[in-house]
Amino acid sequence: MFIGFLFSYPETFKYHQTQKATMKKRPVVVSKIAPLSGGFMLTSIVGFIISAVYLYPRSATWGFAFVLLFILMFVASLISMTYSPVAPKY
């Protein structure tokens, strides 16, 4: 249907060709992974245990929220360990 529209109005087809030719290519952004400390991972593990054992039985809503937060922190630390650049040792 769209192709029929382009062939029925040649000036539209020419407009699209000139727009395609003049469009600038965007640079590819490579995200950089920040190296996180070991204390960040330790905080996420200890926070998860405290939230799951102590906080969740008292308040399910707050317990779930903090457990989810500390799980996300732990996943972030694993991603940081896997993909962060290795510092050269001298």
One-character DSSP codes across 26-45: PPPPPPPPPPPPHHHHHHHH
| pTM reported for the whole predicted model | 0.60
Element (H, E) at 61: helix 60-83
Pairwise CA distance, residues 53 & 71, whole Å: 14
6: Cα within 13 Å, side-chain hemisphere: 8
Render the burial of 68-88: b for 16+ CB within 10 Å, e for the rest. eebeebbebbeebeeeeeeee
Give me the residue spans of the domains in the chain.
26-83
According to the model, what pLDDT value does residue 29 have?
58
pLDDT tens track of the chain, all 90 residues? Answer: 555 555 555 555 555 555 555 566 666 656 677 788 889 999 999 999 999 999 999 999 999 999 999 999 999 999 888 876 666 676
